[in-house]
Structure 1
Amino acid sequence: MSIKIPDKISREEFNKLTNKKLNTPDFRQYISIIKENYKKPRGGTEYFLKEGLSEQVLIRLDYVFKRIGDRQFDSLEEIARYFRMLLDEKKYILLFAYNGTGKTRLSAEFKKLGQRLIEDTEEKTADTLYNNAFTEDLFYWDNDLENDTDRFLKLNSDSRFFVGLKELEMESRIRPFLHRYADFDFTIDYDHYRICFYRDAAISGINERIENIKISRGEENIFIWCFFLAVVQLVVDHEESYRWVQYIYIDDPISSLDDNNVIAVASHLSSLICDHDIKVVVSSHHTLFYNVLCNEIHKPEQLFLQRNAKNEEYILKDTSKTPFFHHVALLKELKKASDSGELYTYHFNILRNILEKTASFHGYRHFSSCLRRESDENSLVYTRIVNLLSHGNYSIFEPKEMVEENKEYFSTILINFLEDYKFNQNIFEAEQMQEKNR
């Protein structure tokens, strides 16, 4: 692990650090470790790092300086170690990153840090339940190429992910999740670790069951996601088979979903993991999914992961109080929706979130300060409209399209905001180009 901490700090910077930067509710706990390990000689103008400090103290100091300043890392393993220390203080980490940055590899590094080899049995213990591209590989198709009739999805029986399937009656646990999103059904052959799918359909006015269907890739993704949610439910319910889980790590679970389903998945996930003692990391490149999680989860650590192409370093940036790249991308989505006229009530939730971040960035206490004041009456109306239509209910299962009058209000508020708070167009273009290049 690369430790990067200053050997000395000027008196002015030390006072600024301990009296201002660290004097906040989130960082106040770090004041003591800084004061204990940096000392100023009598009459000196600089504070020096004490000699002979243990590796444990140096690692803790490195963590503190990363937590409060520039978060630069040499490797994904180093970020994974940082996340594990951060989760001693926080319950949730939300990570936004473009495809190709290293999200899936980061989840693998995080999982690997929690594995321990039992010498007597050569078995590995683990502490992380994860959902990523590797999870999807635990499910694979047997398409009955010879007869093209007996198709089923096979499960990797060697994985701890499938511990105690039959005893836990996983069918009854998965089905309530699946029926939120899909119209097909399934049966599990517990003895042979395989799943068959079927769908009820009306044929010539008669309801019939079509057996052994091959579901689409999008439906398969939904099924695997619902399987994972059922396991998460077992974890938060402290089921004995999953008591080994200390962390849940979820990487980009929303492939092949339209925006309405993305909102449903994000909101449903938030309700499932909140108010439990399990630590959770969620990473995504999907701006809408990330934004809903930021709104729904209480006080998460919100981070943006970048990679410096010149020196191969990784950079983590805090996005909790500033309008950053995912907000820029969201503005593009809102503008596109406004131009097309396809506006749903949840778009007001997204707009309000961006207004609040912008107000905080500019030092205002309320989002209404970022609404154009064409007149006192109009400003009051706009504030009431945003308050009324961003009440936190996304109508996730029956998304409601705005009425025409509210569409006009939305478009006016958005256009005024984009004109009054001009984001650099190069940022829009850079974000778009980076996404394409990934």
Structure 2
Amino acid sequence: MLLYAYNGVGKTRLSVTFRDLGRVVGADGATVRRDTLYFNAYTEDLFTWDNDLTFERKRVLELNAESRFFAGLRELEMEVKIGRLLARYTDINFYIDYDRREPPDSLNEPGAPLPPAVTFFREREENGDPRPIKASRGEENIFIWCFFLSIVELAMDPEVEAYRWVKYVYIDDPISSLDEHNAISVANHLARLLTSAGRGPSVVVSTHHVLFFNVLCNELKSRAIRYFLKNGENGSYSLLDTTSKPFLHHLAALVELHDAQETGALYTHHFNMLRRVMEQTASFFGLEDWKTCIEVADIDPDRTLYARMIDLMSHGDYSIYEPREMMEENKAHFRTVFRRFVAGHPFNPQLFP
């Protein structure tokens, strides 16, 4: 199942709620059973940087060893699996130190154990030791993603006992801080992993990234159900099924704007949405700017008014989380601009029944 949603809709909250549906908590508050392996903002928080602020020589990415996410890390030779995946995206190398300790208090007493940590490097010292480096945010995120993918591969292997508890895999926005090339690569790789597996966990992917979502849709085709996820009433969600037709962000926005101007439920932020669609349309057609998308006659006295209104409303001081309904006069102007825009460009008429 693929879910597309704007930022702020609550994708992370939804992924946590989904996880909690399959979690059983004991009397002491500890989790005794679960069924969902998930990737979201909380997963990224399992990795924290120790930047060696005192000496600034050995910066490492520490792993939260208390999490079940890292079950069987050493025994399953995860470094080999992660390295094979990581090589698809970057030339950075790494190793995991499982036996870290604090400096000893004396010659006879070893220091207290420290959490396992990842050391990144590209070059080695003259003696052959890796030269530690601080990975970029994009390299860090792609490493964590490859770490997660290697676990998903294990969860899809019925012979691996450590992850046999996984019934569902929930992936929320895995491509933050990645450029478009890597966004396409990650989506393509994920789709191939999911389609190459036999029977395995059911998978949900949610994202706000248009390109990532579209690549997944094209790669998975009929294997996936696709939804546009939006906020409903009283903290609920609503789902628009986009499985039967191609999904693009600007097309989904047009459908939403069409429905809003038909029903009269027009809010100030709809001007912002309309301008964004016009910006994308102008860019696609190589036009000078979005104002050329307003199809009105040169002699129309309201031509300048429409352009100024959209410009003003799309820079207004308002919050999309607290919708402010338009005045009736502005609603009428919005309908005029929207209908002329749609009539002047060859969008599929089936989008606007």
Same fold (TM over 0.5): yes
From 154, 162, 165, the equivalent of 1:244 is 165
Q: Which residue, out of 209, 218, 237, partners 1:295?
A: 218
**Deviation per residue, 1:381-412 (Å, 9 max, x gap):** xxxxxxxxxxxxxxxxxxxxxxxxxxxxxxxx
* 1:251-262 equivalent positions in 2, closer than 5 A: 251-262=172-183
Letter in 2 for 1:300: A
Equivalence for 2:16: 108
Aligned partner letter, 1:255: S
Measured at CA, do residues 148 and 321 of structure 1 come closer, stay the same or move farther in structure 2, by a change above 3 Å? same
> Residue 197 of structure 1 aligns with which residue?
120
Count residues with an aligned counterpart: 252
Using a 3 Å threshold, how does the CA distance of structure 1 residues 245 and 333 change in structure 2: closer, same or farther? farther
Name the Cα RMSD after superposition.
Answer: 3.1
Q: Answer yes or no: is the 8 Å Cα contact 1:199–1:211 preserved in 2.
A: yes
Q: Which residue of 2 aligns with 1:276?
A: 198
Offset, 1:305 = 0.9
CA contact (8 A) 1:198 1:209 kept: no
Q: Does structure 1 residue 221 correspond to structure 2 residue 141?
A: yes
> Which residue is equivalent to 1:179?
87
> How has the CA–CA distance of structure 1 residues 324 and 187 changed in structure 2, closer, same or farther, with 3 Å as cutoff?
closer
Query: Quick check: 1:133 aligned with 2:41?
Result: yes
CA distance in 1, matches of 2:243, 2:80: 39
Q: Are 2:214 and 2:248, in contact at CA under 8 Å, matched by a contact in 1?
A: no
What is the letter of the counterpart of residue 258 of structure 1? D
Q: Does 1:97 align with 2:17?
A: no
Structure 2 residue aligned with 1:420, among 343, 346, 350?
346
Within the alignment, does 1:307 sit opposite 2:231 as a pair? yes
Instruction: Tell me the equivalent position of 2:325.
Output: none
Are 1:146 and 2:146 counterparts?
no
Please tell me the residue identity of whatever aligns with 1:303. Answer: Y
Tell me the amino acid that sits aligned with residue 421 of structure 1.
F
Provide the rounded CA distance (Å) in 2 between the counterparts of 1:233 and 1:242. 10
More helix by share: 1
Cα distance, 1:126 vs structure 2: 0.8
Change (3 A) 1:338 1:182: farther
Per-residue deviation, residues 152-209 of structure 1 (Å, max 9, x unmatched): 00000110000011101111010011011011100101234111110138x9xx9x97
Q: 1:334 to 1:293 in 2, by over 3 A?
A: farther
Q: What does residue 388 of structure 1 align with?
A: none
1:162 and 2:66 are equivalent in the alignment = no
Structure 1: gaps spanning 5 or more residues:
1-92, 341-416, 428-438
Tell me the amino acid that sits aligned with residue 265 of structure 1. V
SS at structure 2 position matched to 1:267 = helix
> How much has 1:276 moved relative to structure 2?
3.0
CA distance in 1, matches of 2:118, 2:82: 12
> In structure 1, what is the Cα distance between the partners aligned to 2:155 and 2:286?
44
8 Å contact kept, 1:287–1:329: no
After TM superposition, the score normalised by the length of structure 2 is: 0.65
Contact map agreement 2:214 2:247 (CA 8 A) in 1: no
Counterpart CA distance in 2 for 1:299 and 1:327 is 24
| Contact 1:104 1:251 (8 Å CA) reproduced | yes
Give the match's secondary structure for 2:174.
Answer: coil
Secondary structure of the corresponding residue to residue 419 of structure 1: coil
- Counterpart residue type for residue 133 of structure 2: I
Deviation at 1:142, TM superposition (A): 0.5
The one-character-per-residue Cα deviations of 1:79-102 (angstroms, maximum 9, x if unpaired) are xxxxxxxxxxxxxx1000001100
Aligned-pair identity (%): 51
Q: Which amino acid aligns with 1:299?
A: R
Q: Measure the CA separation in 1 of the matches of 2:175 and 2:347.
A: 31
One-letter identity of the residue aligned with 2:89: Y
